[in-house]
Structure formats: structure tokens, C-alpha cells
Amino acid sequence: MKNTIKVGFWEKLARIILKNRITILIAIAAITIFLGFQWRNLSMTYTEANLLPKKHIVNQQYQDFLNKFGEEGNLIVIGFKDPTFFTPKAFAAWSELMTSLKNTPEVELVVSLSDLKKLEKDTIDQKFQLIPLIDQTQTKDAAYLQKIKHELFNNLPFYEGLLFNKESGSIRSAIYLKKSIVNTERRKTFILENLVPAVEKFERATKIDLRVSGMPYIRTINAENMKGEIGLFIGAALLVVSLIFFLFFRSWRATFISIFILIFGVMWSFGTLGLFHYKITILTAIIPPLIIVIGITNCIFLINKYQQEIKLHNNQAKALQRVISKIGVSTLMTNMTTAMGFATFMIAGNDLLFEFGLVTSINVITVYLLTLLVVPIVYSFMPLPKEKHLYHLSKNYISALLDWVESIVKTKRTRIYIIYGLLLIFSVIGVTQMKVSGSLIGEMPKSASFFKDILFYEKEFSGVMPLEIMIDTHRKKGVMKLSTMKKMDELQETISKIPELSKPVSVVNLVKYSKQAFYNGNPDYYELPTSQEQAFILSYAKNATKNTKDNLMKSYVDSTGQYARITTFMKDIGTEDMARVEKQLKTKIKEIFPEDRYSVTLTGKALVFQKGTSYLIDNLIESLIFAILMIAGLMAYLFRSVKMVMASVITNILPLCITSGLMGYFGIPLKPSTILVFSIAFGISVDNAIQFMAKYRHDLLMNNGKVKKSVMSALRETGISTFYTSIVLIFGFAIFTLSSFVGTIALGGLISCTLLFAMFANLLVLPALVLTFEKKKANKEDYEEE
């Protein structure tokens, strides 16, 4: 290894640690108290994850849209499909529900059947006026309500697709929150303390099942589910790794020391988040349990080495010094490679991943330092382990496993390579079947009630994910020109024919409604005015909204009249379908709107997320390649042997390939949550390779360059730790499958799967490759022995 990391350095470090035990423990306590105070800065995130860099063109276009029209994700919809609604009791309860929501300070506007307005022509003042559709004094009359139902479904096409589905009879209302509170804690307070209780009260009174959706609602309930899972993950991770640790070591003392270190690691990870003032997101929420799972491996390596040394010479001082000097350097390298795996997320160009990568990589190193300091210090105050605590070192099943591994590596290396090759071919075939997918709700809990509500809105109203089209006419008041209206109407007709999109809404709908109102509400006239009709119909509309708060056009036309928006909603479709829809829309836009007269932009949360998914996957693949090269470079720096690096990388690439292949065979798509698996898993799985290589290099020096003897002795000593740490990591990451979030389940399950393959690869393939790469030396040894 490099001269700067000599045994002498680590022996000096061991003496410093053991001579300053009390000082170090006080320092650890002080750091813990300091980081504990940083917890006050912790809070849940109230904004959506933006997967694109701020300077990305798609983000800039979306921000430009928000600057013109304000926050788009402020809509909550409440709907139902029930024939008993148009009865006095149900309608009264609905009116009460809508009134209570309308009166809350967080709500800007409620559009609901109970107080729905319709346009009527005022011939005296030559303007349109909004009058109530329903006479509240007659709502106790069942026949009157049936009459209203008929008028709504047959005479008001303006509201079709917005408030009702004519074919199925489903109805919904729209609650627009104040844009200033959408990304604040007030949104959460309103939804949990006002909206949800009010909805539940209505359901109890009427027995009508309400469906609630919309991004503010989904984000709030999602965040509450995420908050509840943090404690579950931490508790489950501590329980699982502690139980497995105890089953291996059969020592309460060793188990409690490890739990103590892991709890401090969790406290430090939360403290680091608070120190940087980072919010708790779906990614940063899994950092504490990650630290538990990764941190326990350090405990296993150090405690296992301590017990091996005690069994060998029964000298505690010598054992503790060797724990630090022998295992300290190799565990430093393994933790560095793990930290590198996480640190590569920092170059993905995404704030969410940057925060996750930075905090996790820092805490991987700090929990290593914590273990390196605490384990020797605590054991120095304790008596020597008893014989029963050392029994696991010579357990029959471990010895049998290592005997089998040794036999296979010695005599059947060809079979290992054949199986490796077949698995690689199998994996490549599976990889060709992988698909890329990214959806705004695809990572959300399928079992959650709001997910079923999303499916309801997809079926009845073609989704709740907003897709926006912004049209720049390049001149003031250009939107209200009839030629522009006709072009927008043509585009809206195209949108209506795309099954993945809902009926679009724009100023065109209002102008059509104005013409219908001008002709006394006759639905046959729900269309754009002719050039002859345009002047006096639009003058009516302008008079109606002049100096009033009821300007119906302000949400769809900016104050200058230069910019217009067309809003539609999209079903939860995958990346491929989204690309097809986008291409279809862009083709039509190019056909309708001349580029020299109009600038048309596709944007909205749904599109930004889809683009972000594709961007993130491309960057995470680059990050994975960078992680592999960086870790390979580190190993080359340490071992100064191309053969060793090749053996380690080849060994640990196979598990990634197998996992990729299985994803293809089982239809698990490549998306942000699953692409994270590979960098994390590679950074962790290569740890066992480093432990083996470090021991092999050491034994090679001790055995005067004898390859076979060194390989087998390294396999014997590191094999136990490899088996123990792999089992703990596999079950540790498996706890993430307890999550209700699809992405977290995939993350835990796929990493566990990868580490299972990596365990066998590091036990079988790695030593076999070393013997093959050093074949000449090994054969020479056999010849000399003969």
C-alpha cells in the first residue's frame, strides 16, 4: 500500500486512542450534544422534488409560465359517483361542506355545483352577468334538484369535463388554494385539520364515498405517510441487525456496544441534516436506517477481529492494538468506497440527490470513525471475552461453508467461470427487456386511499396531473383576436382526441360560453363567434368583467393579453407514452401556429417530472460509471496491481448485471428509485473485495509470495466477516420493503438481491480470479512442493 498508510501509522493511532480514552469519549459526547441541538432545524419538505437543474431549459420554461400565471399546483378536487346525490339530504350536506371550505382563509376559490354560476345576457347594460344556477330556497324539493341535474348535464357544456362527466354521471368540485400557501406548512394544516374532517363528516352523514385528489392533497398525505415510516425504518433496522448480530456472536455485550454506536450514528445523521438546514425528503428520510445497516458492518469487522486475536493469544492490549492497526485501514478503505458510491449522486445535477449524497457520504465516514474509536475503548474497560463468546469462530456451518468454498476455488475454477459466463448472458438478455419509466405518482403507495382516488379521476376525468400549454402571441391583446382563438380551438380539439389527456380549458371555453349566453343559453351555440358576432359578444364579456373581481379570463390570459394558457390533465402514463403524446402535440402545434408569429411552450408539473426522470436516469448512469472508475482508481492506488483491480471490479460487476437482468425479466422499470440501487450496491459490495485483497496482500508478504497459501488464508479469515456482513446487509436493506412507497420497496429489495449475488461472487469468483491471474506463480509453487 501507499507509504503514507503504513502499519506504523496505525500502531501510533492505536496507542493515541487507547491512551486518551476518556478524552475521546467526552469529545464524542460533546459532538453528540452539538448535533442534537441541530435537530431543531429539522422539518418535512413542503415542496415537490424537482429532478432537473434550475438552469435546465425545461425548468426555465416552467418558471416563465409560473411568472406569467402563478402557481399551477393549487387545485384540490372532491368528487363522487352516486345516483343518490340529487336528493335534499345529500345536497344540503354537500352545500354545507362547500361553504365550510369556502370560508377557510387558505382557500381562494371554490367552484362547486352548490353555488355554481351561469352566464346570462343583460340587454339593458349590454353585458353578461353571472347568476346562480340553483335557487337555494328550492333545494329541499327533490323534483327541483332533478331539474337542475338535467340542466347541468344537457345545457352547460362549459362545465363538462370540469365539474361533471356526462356519460358516467360523476361530479366533482374544484377547490383552489391561495397560491402563497401551496408550498408552506399552512397547506398541511388546512388539509389535515379542515379538509379531511369535513370530508369525513359528509361521508358519515350521507354514506356517499367522496374521492379527493389534486397535487396539494397528494403531497400532504404522502408526506404524512413518509413521516410515519421514518420511525418504522429506524426501529426495524435496529431490531433486525441487532438480532442477526446476536445470533452470529451470541454476546449481549458485543450486541449492546453495536446498538450504542448505531444509535449515536442515527443521532449524528439527523444532526447533520439539521446542521445543513436540509428538509426531510423521501430520500433523506432513509439516511438514518441506511447508517444503521452500513454501520453494523464496521462493528462486525472490528469485533470479529478482536475475538479472533483473543482466541489466538489471549492478550487484550495486543488484540485491541491489532484491531485498530490491522482492520482500521481496510475498513477505512471499505467505508471510503461506500461513501464514494453515495457521493457520486452529488454530480447528478439535482438538489435532492446532492443533499442525499452529501449527508449520507459524510455519515458513512463518521459512523466508521465512531466505531473505530468506541469499540476498542469500550472493550478496554471490559474483561476478556469468555469461551462461549468465541465459539462462533469455529462453528461447524461456517467451517463447512469455507471448506466448500476453498474446495471449489482450488479444483473447479472452470465451472465457476462457466456459471459466471452463463449468468452474464442471462443478464444481458434481461437488460435488453428493461424499460424506462417515470410517473409523478408511480412511486406513491398503491395501498393508500388517495391512490385509489387518483385512479377514479383517471377513469372519470382523465387524470389530475397538470399539463400546460403557454401561447405567446408576440403582441398585446393578441390572445383575443379571432384568428388566435380559432388556432387554440383547433389545438384543443386535438387534445380532446388524445385518450391520455382530459378535456382542455382555456379562454376559448369562456368565449364559446359567452356566445351560448348571448343566444339565451342555447347549448347549440356553444362555439366560437363568427367574425360578425365577435365584436359585440366580446364587448359584452369585457363589460361584465370590468372593475370586478369576477374576471373569468384572468386565470387563462395574462394582464397584457399577450399570453394565453391551455390547461389539460394527464393520466399517470410512463415515459414512452409521454414522449409519444408530447411529439403528437408538438407536431400539431407546429402545424397550427406559425413560428414567426407565435411561441408555444409545453410545460406543467407532469411534463417537468417526466423530463426530470429521463435527465436523472442519464446522469445516474454516468454517476454509476464514475463510481466504478473512482473506486477502481482508489484500489489501484492502494494495491498498485492492475490484476487485483480487474479481479475486484469483474467480480462485483456481475451482481449488478444479474440484478439488471432480473429487472428486465420481471418488468421492473428503470426509474429514479431503481437506478439508485446500482451505485449504492456497488459501493457496498466492493467492500468485501477490498477486505479480501488487503488480507491477501498482507499474507503474501508474510508467506514469502506464496499465492495459493495466501489466497486460502485470506479466504479463511475474511470469509467469516464477508458472510456475516453480507447477511446483515441483505436483511438490513430488506427492511425497506416494509415501506408503502413503491420506490423505497424497489430500492430495498433490489439492493438486497444485488448483495446476495455479491456475497457469493466475493467468496467464489474473486479468489478464483486471483489464482487464475497469478497462475504462473501458483503452478510454480505446486511444482516446487512436488
| DSSP string for residues in 253-291 | HHHHHHHHHHHHHHHHHHHHHHHTT--B-TTGGGHHHHH
Buried b vs exposed e over 595-611: b needs ≥16 C-beta within 10 Å? Answer: eeebebbbbbbbbbbbb
Per the CB < 8 A criterion, the answer to whether 173 and 77 are in contact is yes
Q: How many helices, marked H, and strands, marked E, lie in the chain?
A: 28, 9
State which of 17-21, 443-447, 577-581 shows the largest mean pLDDT: 17-21
Distance CA 181, CA 46 (A): 10
pLDDT tens string 335-357: 888 888 888 888 877 788 889 99
Q: Kindly tell me if the per-residue pLDDT of 418 is higher than 60.
A: yes
How many other CB atoms are found less than 10 A from the CB of residue 626?
Answer: 16
pLDDT tens string 716-733: 888 887 888 888 889 988
The most distant pair of C-alpha atoms in the chain lies apart, rounded to whole Å, by 118
Per the CB < 8 A criterion, the answer to whether 471 and 564 are in contact is yes
> Burial, 136: exposed, middle or buried (Cβ in 10 Å; 0-12, 13-18, 19+)?
exposed
Instruction: Give the three-state DSSP class for 443.
Output: coil
> Beta 117-122 vs 465-472: how paired, if at all?
unpaired
Instruction: Give the three-state DSSP class for 166.
Output: coil
Q: Kindly tell me if the per-residue pLDDT of 1 is higher than 50.
A: no
Strand partners for 470:
565, 601
Give the H or E element holding residue 400.
helix 396-411
Whole-angstrom Cα Rg for the chain: 33
Give the C-alpha distances (Å, rounded to integers) separating 37 from 261, 280, 332. Answer: 19, 17, 28
**Mean pLDDT, to the nearest integer, of 423-451?**
79
* Size of the chain in residues: 786
Distance CA 610, CA 700 (A): 53
> Beta 563-570 vs 211-213: how paired, if at all?
unpaired
Q: Kindly tell me if the per-residue pLDDT of 4 is higher than 50.
A: no
Lowest mean pLDDT among 113-127, 213-227, 329-343, 457-471: 113-127
Q: pTM higher than 0.85 for the full model?
A: no
Distance CA 148, CA 171 (A): 13
Buried b vs exposed e over 503-519: b needs ≥16 C-beta within 10 Å? Answer: bbbbbbbbbbbbbbbbe
Which region holds residue 128: left if phi is over 0, alpha if psi is between -120 and 50, else beta?
beta
Distance CA 301, CA 523 (A): 78
| Of the candidates 324, 287, 399, the residue with the CA atom closest to the CA atom of residue 719 | 399
Distance CA 368, CA 364 (A): 6
Give the C-alpha distances (Å, rounded to integers) separating 238 from 49, 261, 262, 736. Answer: 29, 11, 8, 13
Distance CA 451, CA 441 (A): 8
Per the CB < 8 A criterion, the answer to whether 605 and 73 are in contact is yes
Lowest mean pLDDT among 326-335, 390-399, 655-664: 390-399
Band (pLDDT 50/70/90 cuts) for residue 395 is low
Band (pLDDT 50/70/90 cuts) for residue 547 is very low
Task: Give me 777's grid cell.
Answer: 506463480
Give the pLDDT score at 586.
92
Instruction: Give the three-state DSSP class for 778.
Output: helix
Q: Kindly tell me if the per-residue pLDDT of 80 is higher than 60.
A: yes
> Beta 211-213 vs 75-80: how paired, if at all?
antiparallel
Distance CA 220, CA 449 (A): 13
| Of the candidates 284, 292, 357, the residue with the CA atom closest to the CA atom of residue 732 | 292
Distance CA 11, CA 2 (A): 16
Instruction: Give the three-state DSSP class for 132.
Output: strand
Q: Name the H helices within 548-671.
A: 575-592, 605-639, 642-665
How many other CB atoms are found less than 10 A from the CB of residue 155?
Answer: 16
What does pLDDT average to over the chain? 84
State which of 21-30, 321-330, 694-703, 774-783 shows the largest mean pLDDT: 21-30
Q: Kindly tell me if the per-residue pLDDT of 540 is higher than 90.
A: no
Task: Give me 741's grid cell.
Answer: 412507497
